[in-house]
Structure 1
Amino acid sequence: MKIPLRDTVAVAAAALAPFAAALVLLPLRTSVTHTNLALLLVVVVVAVSAFGNRFAGALAALSAAAWFDFFHTEPYQSFHIEDRADVETAVLLLVVGLIVSQLAARGRTMKRVAVTDATHLERLHGTTRLARSSTSSDDVVQRVRQELVEVLELRACRFEYGSLLGRPPRLDPDATVQVDGWIWDLERQGWPEGEIELRAVVHGRYQGRFLLTPEPGTVPPSLEARLVAADLAAQAAAALDDEVVNVGPRS
């Protein structure tokens, strides 16, 4: 399973940014107190945490404490500390860096969740508005197909009318994935191979199915994203059902 590029960059920054900052601060180590130097390194930890994740933040805190010890405490260029005050400063740098990194990562996560929730809500509202205003269920199906590609980060998605054929893996309305009658561990195993069906059902009536093709090796979408996908499929099913009631069965 691929690691997101942003996380890879964040981990690299967590290891290298405190080292670079400690080097840049070298000319100040005799004119600025060790406490202030440590605070400047905490700023670097916060920046890495805000960009990356909790692991990157924790790694940045450890890196900052280590390079503060190596470059800014006597004996220099050594991980040994002689002065007790410097020991306390290094420990506080590590502890404060860890705490601040987790808070920064949590804040970033909460912001991302809020933005994602708003995006999901707009997807559902936009599809609902189209379903109410459009005279063609095909327009709704195409809109849902496009939304599924985005919300589930798919390579492709197509809609199939008519009866069920075969037994491909299935994304159910409760966001679980079924493979041969068993619940697939999506978080640990990733998407199953091949197309995955998402049935368009309303009031117990089957209207068709979306066949999803995930990008190979990608991280599976969140539970919330999968639930939104199920709701979108239900909206397409409702539009198709209304057309059957008002016009007659699709030939």
Structure 2
Amino acid sequence: MTTETGTWRLLSRTAGSRVASACTWPPRDRLALTAGLAAPFLAAFALVPIRTDLSHTNAALLLVVAVVAVAALGSRTAGALAALSAAAWFDFFLTQPYETFDISASADIETALLLLVVGVIVSQLAARARRLEVITVTDAAHLSRIHRTADLARSAGSADTVVDHVRRELTDLLGLRACRFEYGNLLGQPPRLHKDGSLTAGRRPWDVDAAGWPEGEIELRAYGNGHYLGRFMLTPGPGPVPPLRSRLVAVTPADQTGAALDAAGPVSQG
């Protein structure tokens, strides 16, 4: 077995293990993995009629375009798989001897390896750009929520209006089944959502990202001018636990509620 053949087998086993572990991924990611295998194959196959007139460098660049398209739509794993697929089909269809995974010219070997390396790097950058775009959109939506609540807290004639608004915001933001507000004294020791997005249950840290929401209602306290004024009681919904970013954002409307209650005075809290 040649060194080149051994390298392809090692890369193929690595990619195969990633694909096997992806069986529980969302449909979009599974589709991206399929595209990672198919798109470079189709691109390389389409170049077969003109492979004698097309330089190997230009052919490799065209295959990189396919890799970038897959990475932009899918995950890093899909992009890496597309890069591996592009290098393999470049070898198979576009280098001599054709229709084999052997390369006779050292320049073609270098081009195939560069295609693999460049494809992996570009795919990672494309996937990262897509992730940053999602984060930017998400953060913009979170910021809009905070601004809406702040504007309402300044203009609302009743603190109860702010409470009702924040209940709806928290329900949507955290994917809750229900959310209610309790004024005044603390009763019992339900699990608690803290300002840093962490949870405690029975005064012990609760790894919400690993274990999911604890059972029962979860309290999110509202303070005004340093004084406890009430708490939102959160009933988790059936969906996944919201990410830390969402849990951190949830604390701000609760604080704005506390400020509105403090400004309204004890009459509105009763």
Normalising by structure 2, report the TM-score: 0.80
How many aligned residue pairs are there?
245
**Identity rate, percent:** 52
The equivalences for 1:59-78 within 5 A come to 59-78=81-100
Correspondent of 1:182 among 171, 190, 204:
204
Please state if 1:230 is matched with 2:251: yes
Would you say the 8 A contact 1:191–1:214 is kept in 2? Answer: no
For 2:34 and 2:92, the matched residues in 1 are separated by 20
Q: Deviation per CA, 1:124-172, whole angstroms, max 9, x where unpaired?
A: 11110011111122322222222223333x1423113144444433211
For 2:28 and 2:215, the matched residues in 1 are separated by 26
Counterpart residue identity of residue 205, structure 2:
I
Residue of structure 2 equivalent to 1:206: 229
Unaligned runs of 5+ in 2: 1-23
**Residues 8 and 221 from structure 1, CA distance in 2 versus in 1: closer, same or farther, beyond 3 angstroms?**
farther
Q: After alignment, is 116-125 or 181-190 more displaced?
A: 181-190
Correspondent of 1:157 among 178, 182, 189:
178
For 2:217 and 2:27, the matched residues in 1 are separated by 26
Q: Quote how far apart the aligned CAs of 1:244 are.
A: 3.3
**Residues 204 and 5 from structure 1, CA distance in 2 versus in 1: closer, same or farther, beyond 3 angstroms?**
farther
For 2:217 and 2:34, the matched residues in 1 are separated by 35
Counterpart residue identity of residue 190, structure 2:
P
Q: Deviation per CA, 1:153-201, whole angstroms, max 9, x where unpaired?
A: x142311314444443321111112123222223333434444332223
CA RMSD of aligned residues (A): 2.4
Residue of structure 2 equivalent to 1:96: 118
Unaligned runs of 5+ in 1: none
**Residues 173 and 86 from structure 1, CA distance in 2 versus in 1: closer, same or farther, beyond 3 angstroms?**
same
Residue of structure 2 equivalent to 1:41: 63
Q: Quote how far apart the aligned CAs of 1:227 are.
A: 1.1
**Residues 127 and 31 from structure 1, CA distance in 2 versus in 1: closer, same or farther, beyond 3 angstroms?**
same
Correspondent of 2:106 among 80, 84, 109:
84
Please state if 1:239 is matched with 2:266: no
Residue of structure 1 equivalent to 2:242: 221
Counterpart residue identity of residue 52, structure 1:
G
Would you say the 8 A contact 2:162–2:260 is kept in 1? Answer: yes
Q: After alignment, is 141-150 or 92-101 more displaced?
A: 141-150
Q: After alignment, is 160-169 or 127-136 more displaced?
A: 160-169
Normalising by structure 1, report the TM-score: 0.85
Residue of structure 2 equivalent to 1:132: 154
Q: Name which structure has the greater RCO, CA cutoff 8 Å, separation 6+.
A: 1
In terms of Rg, which structure is larger?
A: 2
Q: Quote how far apart the aligned CAs of 1:92 are.
A: 0.6
Which SS does the other structure have where 2:265 is aligned?
A: helix
**Residues 175 and 101 from structure 1, CA distance in 2 versus in 1: closer, same or farther, beyond 3 angstroms?**
same
